[in-house]
Chains A and B, each alone.
Chain A
Amino acid sequence: MAGNVSITLQNTDEGRAIINAISADNAEAVVNVYPSMTKIDCPGRLIVNRESIESEMGRPFDLQELQLSLVSLAGNVDEDDDKFVLEWNR
């Protein structure tokens, strides 16, 4: 069984939109809220979809804007224009 991948985001306005998008797109995601930040754990694989964030924010979103909200992550990263994926055992 693969361990958890994880992403931690700031508790900011944009961070919340991203957290909501991740929660909606990853059924197994577990959301842990700490002071000023939120850590999301998910078994094996976690996906961040550009379109989901855009519909949360109501504006175009370049996935590289994640850089502004990201605190930490665990897992192998694969990013392109539409999705940002974290996974083990790629």
Chain B
Amino acid sequence: MNAETKIERKAKKLGLKERYGHLTRGLGWETSYQPMDKVFPFASYEGIKIHDWDAFEDPFRLTMDAYWKYQAEKERKLYAVIDSFAQNNGQMKITDARYVNALKIFLTGVSPLEYMAHRGYAHVGRHFVGAGPRVACQMQAIDELRHAQTQMHTISHYNKYFDGLHDPRHMFDRVWYLSVPKSFFEDAMTAGPFEFLTAISFSFEYVLTNLLFVPFMSGAAYNGDMATVTFGFSAQSDESRHMTLGLEIIKFMLEQDADNVPIVQRWIDKWFWRGYRLLSIVAMMMDYMLPKRVMSWAEAWGIYFEEAGGALFEDLSRYGITTPKYADVASKEKDRLTHEVWSTFYNYTRAAAFHTWIPNDDELAWLSEKYPETFDQLYRPRYEHWRSLQQKGERFYNNSLPQLCNVCQIPMVFTEPDDPTKLCLRSTEFEGEKYHFCSDGCKDIFEFEPQKYVQSWLPVHQIFQGNCGGATMPEVLDWYGIKNGSDNLDYEGSPDQTIWNDWTKSAQRAAG
């Protein structure tokens, strides 16, 4: 295209700034029948002081007409791809059926969070005084509902062929490892509106979701999963707007009053650590569950937290904000995190709604290459040992129930920041009871609000208290909605493997 070509465009009657101004400055008003603090009862109790709500502005300046227009376009594109994927047996054109297990975790662990986010933004949008944040939260509430729906619609196609995808909602409320994402979001939703936005919009969306969606969706593309790439990027285009809301709301709070700074810093510290622990399972998906891998967890952490987060926190330092507490611990853990988590699921494969496996030789070599400081020294020998037991017909299962961290609810499987061979165990006493934690980060969170976290619904405690269907494994699995022998255990020998092998064999026969 010749750069000098004249493009004819119709001028709009109002510029973007004016249109956005009319939407967000004219629609709010001071109430007269009731005092403002009764209409907005949650606006001040967290201690955040706002003097001028109009100082908040969505930098995208998105108006409702543009919002509907572009969202409709995204939906049309996505559903065309979903139809095409289904019509063309796309589920059988992925690299390997083991990949589907990453989708199982996504559908049961992440998609329900989208729905919780929908509810959360609808709630806090109602409770902000200013029209700017209200409109941004309203759009995000609709976006999040769309994400939950499109993910269900996309992945439901896989449910016709593969196990473990039949009832994500039921599992989300019951299965032990899904209480990790569930309790994370419930913690945020039971906080005040400003903490909720710091938790979800800033710490989760801005600081951390790049690590969830971006490498994972690129991985889906690399593994031939056209449908997931499309819903992922369709959602991610909204996420860019959400991330921007996260950064703007943080700056807004920091600029409104110096008293807000220490409150916001404490929330950033808390929600960085909560979010980082939540991402453990995603980290594992990247290193262990994508047959073709894009980048390792350690590399993604380097690009998206150490580099991008470094620039972000440098920018926020002018307000007196510092890098989140324990970010250094997260960086120390980057070369071991995924191996510790995958090993845990290998141990507890009977109680998981997805399949596990020992990485094959090529995959072990990739892990050695990506983790030169740790893999061969600490983790390869463990996998090789388990593999030899399996070959002798003595596959190792952990038959005890693990102790859980009282805050993140992950089994206590993480190691000391400065010693990857020693389990990290922390505890504290509150009102005569002892509470246990996986890390100093989780312990700090508990100690600031013990009354909140003594209420944690800890899956292992619940099993012991008799609240999960019974005292035996089959009873608990039944209560979870996990079908023993098809949804759980190793990929080797699973019905998923049979359907995949039959398909690939028939394709080879057809090719001659």
Using a CB–CB cutoff of 8 Å, the interface residues on chain A facing chain B are: 2-6, 8, 10, 34-37, 51, 54-60, 64-65, 67-81, 88-89
Contact = CB atoms under 8 A, between A and B. Distances in A.
A54 B6 CA distance: 9
Interface string B228-240: 0100010011011
Contacts, number: 121
Contacts of A65: 70
Given A5-B311, A68-B237, A71-B236, 13 more contacts: A2-B315, A56-B1, A58-B1, A60-B9, A67-B62, A68-B74, A70-B236, A72-B239, A79-B61, A88-B314, A88-B315, A89-B315, A89-B318
A70 B9 CA distance: 23
A55 B240 contact: no
B interface, size bucket:
35 or more
B40 interface: no
Chain B at the A interface: mostly helix, strand, loop or mixed? helix
B117 interface: no
B428 to A, nearest CB: 37
A60 B315 CA distance: 35
B310 interface: yes
Interface string B52-74: 00000001111000100010011
A1 B74 CA distance: 38
Interface string B186-227: 000000000000000000000000100110011101100000
A64 B307 CA distance: 28
A58 B8 CA distance: 10
A34 B78 CA distance: 21
A81 B237 contact: no
Nearest to B241: A67
Given A56-B1, A89-B315, A68 B236 contact: no
B247 to A, nearest CB: 7
Contacts of A5: 311
A4 B307 contact: yes
Given A2-B314, A6-B308, A34-B294, A72 B7 contact: no
Closest 8 CB pairs of A and B: A3-B311, A36-B221, A60-B9, A77-B59, A35-B222, A54-B7, A35-B221, A58-B1
Contacts of A72: 210, 213-214, 236, 239-240, 243
B5 interface: yes
Nearest to B12: A81
A90 to B, nearest CB: 9
Given A4-B311, A55-B3, A67 B237 contact: yes
29 contacts: A3-B315, A4-B307, A4-B311, A8-B214, A37-B214, A54-B9, A55-B5, A59-B7, A60-B8, A64-B60, A64-B66, A67-B70, A67-B237, A67-B241, A68-B70, A70-B236, A71-B233, A71-B237, A72-B214, A72-B239, A72-B240, A74-B308, A76-B251, A77-B60, A79-B61, A80-B16, A80-B61, A81-B15, A89-B318
Most chain A beta-carbon neighbours within 10 Å: one of B74, B222, B240 = B240
A56 B1 CA distance: 6
Contacts of B241: 67
Interface string B301-316: 0000001101110110
Interface in B1-26: 1-5, 7-10, 12, 15-17
